[in-house]
């Protein structure tokens, strides 16, 4: 696919509603903020769709970096004190298996199951006070409280997001630095779906607002082309 535009930052999300606030600021499918050229794409829900969608978007826009934005669930374990609508920046993205968490399955040795986000990009988005966390990507939403606790503890993660690892893997394959900005919409477990319905709009707005503020400030930490 030919590249028509010079793109500094490609902002992606699983589905269009999670980009609504940024579309108002930037335009659709993209535009400029503080003379930074930005493209926006919804890449798909779930691991397979998000991986393919991210590679397609990268090859279309040839960005200098990628920022994933969206909502997440917070694991309710002893190490987590995250509040609803609180934003976090991804530090390390894990492919998480419920079977592996329960000791009933195992990943093959050569398989990549964790990807680091770009440290400079992540620090730029986090600023002085931002929270950086490890993120688990599961094949399906974890809807059992006991299983949620096991998954969070087994992989050392504070939040769950269904597409983060897929987006990171696609970016690694294309040699494009990336990070993720997520906001908590629910606790992972039995109440997750109901809580997400109540809070996903506020959480999505919080994630979009953080990225918008970062862009207006010149996108510190981003490897800009323009």
Q: How far apart are the first and last CA of the chain?
A: 22
The pLDDT value recorded for residue 30 is 83
3 state DSSP class of 32: strand
Return d(Cα 41, Cα 92) in angstroms, integer: 22
pLDDT tens for 138-152 read 999 999 999 999 999
Query: Is residue 3 exposed (0-12), middle (13-18) or buried (19+ Cβ within 10 Å)?
Result: exposed
pLDDT tens for 31-64 read 999 899 999 999 999 999 999 999 999 999 999 9
Task: Enumerate residues 6+ apart whose C-beta is below 8 A from 30.
Answer: 5, 7, 37, 38, 39, 40, 61
**Superfamily of domain 9-216, CATH level 4:** Nucleoside phosphorylase domain (3.40.50.1580)
Q: Which pTM does this prediction carry?
A: 0.94
């Amino acid at each position: 696919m030919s590249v028509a535009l010079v793109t500094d930052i490609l902002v992606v999300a699983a589905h269009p509603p999670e980009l609504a606030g940024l579309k108002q600021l930037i335009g659709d499918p993209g535009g400029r903020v503080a003379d930074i050229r930005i493209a926006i794409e919804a890449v798909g829900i779930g691991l397979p769709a998000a991986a393919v969608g991210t590679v397609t978007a990268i090859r279309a826009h040839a960005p200098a970096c990628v920022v994933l934005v969206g909502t997440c669930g917070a694991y309710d374990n002893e190490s987590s004190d995250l509040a609803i609508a609180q934003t976090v920046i991804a530090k390390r993205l894990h492919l998480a298996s419920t079977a592996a968490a329960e000791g009933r399955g195992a990943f093959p040795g050569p398989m990549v199951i964790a990807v680091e986000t770009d440290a400079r990009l992540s620090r730029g988005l986090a600023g002085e006070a931002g929270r950086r966390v490890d993120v688990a990507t599961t094949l399906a939403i974890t809807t059992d409280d006991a299983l949620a606790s096991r998954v969070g503890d087994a992989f050392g993660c504070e939040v769950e997001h269904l597409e983060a690892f897929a987006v990171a893997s696609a970016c690694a394959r294309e040699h494009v630095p990336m990070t993720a900005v997520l906001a908590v919409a629910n606790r992972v477990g039995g109440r997750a779906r109901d809580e997400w319905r109540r809070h996903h709009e506020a959480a999505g707005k919080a994630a979009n607002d953080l990225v918008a503020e970062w862009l207006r400030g010149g996108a510190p930490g981003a490897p800009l082309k323009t």
